[in-house]
Amino acid sequence: MPTDNTAGNNTSDKQCRGYHVHANGIRQHLIHYPGEGPQMLLIPGITSPAITWGFVAERLAKSFDVHVLDVRGRGLSQAGDLDYSLDAMAADVLAVIAVAGLESPVVLGHSMGARTAIRAARMNQTPIGQLVLVDPPVSGPGRRAYPSAWNWYEDSIRLAEQGCSGEQVRQFCPTWTDEQNALRAEWLHTCQLDAIRTAYDGFHSDDIHADLAKLTLPIRLVVAGGASVIEADDVAEIQALAPQTEVRTVEGAGHMIPWDDLEGFLTAVMNVGVR
């Protein structure tokens, strides 16, 4: 059973609460943003602890009952000497859905979280209602490299490990608000460097396209129109592999879509349904 604790920092009209579950053999932490609609499990990207998605989850909670996962090795979930592979993270998703009592949730994943959602669905589609894939890296074996360089991640994490301010983080996230940079400065140190390295390397070694070809559940692909992570040819390939995929593009937004255009992001995802 989940163990509750107040999440802090981001609050809404209905108090968000953090809780832990033991799933897939480790402690998993989530933040629950209560809503009246279908359940949603939100899986953040490579260096985004759950709490940094609070300003998005608060708005999503107008249409969904939102649970945001701290991916292993990040935030308040278990870290240390663990398996940080895509398969392990995907197995976490399925185990969390079961242990947390989620019923056919919409699984929304951003970037690495979208790749994790794809692999989880390939493992077992049954407990998932729908996938919302937000700008998943389409790199992989024999494909073009992921456009962000490794040193961007390593340098920012090492800075955070030393203790830093939001203003110091701004050199890595120059378009973010003061509040967003301050929150990143507070929480980035919880991103275990070897976990991030494993995920980053997995962008180039894990084949999510083979997974997509096996999926039959509803999929919505949300593309950052101002980024180079997903291009027109990539969209066409994804729809060829999974013809049930519908596409929404947030024009002008960078890879961190809600940080650039929250309203555009919400318009792209708010009306998804479940089977």
**What pLDDT is attached to residue 9?**
43
> How much is the pTM?
0.94
The question of whether 255 is a catalytic residue gets the answer: yes
The total of structural domains in the chain comes to: 1
**156 belongs to a structural domain:** no
**What pLDDT is attached to residue 13?**
54
As a dihedral over the C-alpha atoms of residue 207, residue 213, residue 216, residue 219, rounded to 10 degrees, the angle is 60
**232 belongs to a structural domain:** yes
The question of whether 231 is a catalytic residue gets the answer: yes
**What pLDDT is attached to residue 78?**
98
**177 belongs to a structural domain:** no
Q: Is 123 exposed, middle or buried (0-12, 13-18, 19+ CB in 10 A)?
A: middle
How does DSSP assign the chain, residue by residue? Answer: --EEEE--S---SSPPEEEEEEETTEEEEEEEE--SSSEEEEE--TT--GGGGHHHHHHHTTTSEEEEEE-TTSTTS--SS---SHHHHHHHHHHHHHHTT--S-EEEEETHHHHHHHHHHHH--TT-SEEEEES-----TTSPPPSS-HHHHHHHHHHHHH---HHHHTTT-TTS-HHHHHHHHHHGGGS-HHHHHHHHHHHHH--HHHHHTT--S-EEEEEETTSSSS-HHHHHHHHHHSTTEEEEEETT--SSHHHH-HHHHHHHHTT----
- Of these residues, 36, 103, 231, 263, which one is catalytic? 231
- Of these residues, 29, 67, 209, 255, which one is catalytic? 255
**17 belongs to a structural domain:** yes
**258 belongs to a structural domain:** yes
**161 belongs to a structural domain:** no
Domain interval for residue 93 = 3-146+204-269
- Of these residues, 48, 63, 77, 111, which one is catalytic? 111
Tens digit of each residue's pLDDT, the chain (275 residues) = 455 444 444 434 579 999 999 999 999 999 999 998 999 999 999 999 999 999 999 999 999 999 999 999 999 999 999 999 999 999 999 999 999 999 999 999 999 999 999 999 999 999 999 999 999 999 999 999 999 999 999 999 999 999 999 999 999 999 999 999 999 999 999 999 999 999 999 999 999 999 999 999 999 999 999 999 999 999 999 999 999 999 999 999 999 999 999 999 999 998 876 44
CA separation for the pair 160, 184 (Å, rounded): 9
The question of whether 251 is a catalytic residue gets the answer: no
CATH number at residue 263: 3.40.50.1820
